[in-house]
Amino acid sequence: MIKAAVAGASGYAGGETLRLLAQHPEIDIVTVTAASSSGQPLGNYQPHIPQLADRMIQETRVDTLAGHDLVILALPHGHSGAIGDALAESGDNGIVVDLAADHRLVDADEWARYYGGEYCPAWTYAMPELLHAGESRAVKQRALIANSTRLAVPGCNATAVTLAAQCAVNANIIDTQSLVATLAVGYSGAGKTLKPHLLASQASGTLAPYAVGGSHRHIPEILQNLRLAGATGDARLTFTPVLAPLSRGILATVVAPLKCGITRADVDQALAVYDEEYLVTVTQAPTWPTTGPLTGTGAVQIHWSIDERAGALVMICAIDNLGKGTAAAALQSANIALGLPEYTAVPTIGVAP
């Protein structure tokens, strides 16, 4: 059995990761760690995983995490970098998967602009479906993941926007200087930290935009992905996330001008890249992507529509922010790095109603 440790086990991302790992036939959860909740049973924080309820949460330390085949860091931004470095210095050869932003960005200046603090070098980006310019299928990214022991899981919003738009970018059918993305986002994306604006009494019955006007931290990550897929260096993105009164889910709507002469056949051919992606379903009108059926899964729904009068392509993507947006993506990529079948224990069946 593969020995696994999860740091940040008491949070939403850590809990979802543990839920998926607990159902993995090849992985044994040996260690769970956290900060303020250390010394308490995991069941106090993740009661939905009864088989791990009596597991005691340990303090998050390098010596506690070392020696495992797989370490998943579900920690706040700014905490994973030091632990990842220390594990490497200790000679630990296990696979480390970071759910935070610490190792996503290749540009140190962009890190300083959006996050601040010490920059950590980028790890292999853990999005198996990520396209590379000149590649007609997402083969190269999977190969990079398979040969890596350090993986950076994408941000949930970055996942939704990238998956919505990357095929159009790769096929060069849209103007990437005028990308506009609007997202409805579930509250679990904000984590468990108690803040007044995240209380149920404040969230219920209202829509609340945040990080407006180009300030959201996932913007440089999205542009990094789209440039890899083929966008020019002057690609520009207007990005507006809106908190919606639901626990989980992201519905991203991305709009861009179609280039002159692009036909419906060109659009269909570009989107056909996803025909070979097991987790991605391309919906047909009038069935639009919705978040509900994806709850608890690593699945993705995509739809494209041509707005003839505006000369634009409307690209919609739905995911579960804790599923494909976080934990399921981590597990999918960890499977590849471990040499296991890619979709082992990655859930595709949602919960309804």
CB neighbour list of residue 296: distance below 8 Å, 6 or more residues apart: 248, 320, 323, 347, 350, 351
How many residues would you count in the chain?
Answer: 353
Cα 97 from Cα 106, distance rounded (Å): 17
Give the residue carrying structure tokens 């594990």: 87
Positive or negative, the Cα torsion across 338, 340, 341, 343?
negative
- Examine the residue annotation and report whether 156 is marked as an active-site residue of this protein: yes
Torsion 326-329-335-337 (CA) sign: negative
Task: Say how many CA atoms lie within 13 Å of 350 toward its Cβ.
Answer: 21
Both tokens of residue 184?
Answer: 């409805």
Q: Which of 156, 167, 260, 317 is catalytic?
A: 156
Q: Cis omega before residue 286 (within 30°)?
A: yes
214 near 273, Cβ under 8 Å?
A: no
Q: Which residues fall within 8 angstroms of residue 135, CB to CB, at 6 or more apart?
A: 170
Q: Which of 148, 153, 127, 115 is nearest to 8 (CA)?
A: 153
- Residues with Cβ within 8 Å of residue 260, at least 6 apart in sequence: none
From the centroid of its chain, how far is CA 25? Answer: 23
- Are 57 and 41 in contact by the 8 Å Cβ rule? The answer is yes
Six token digits for residue 16: 């979802």
Q: How far apart are CA 176 and CA 334, in angstroms?
A: 32
The runs of H, that is alpha helices, within 72-212 are: 80-89, 108-114, 140-146, 156-170, 200-203
Active site residues: 156
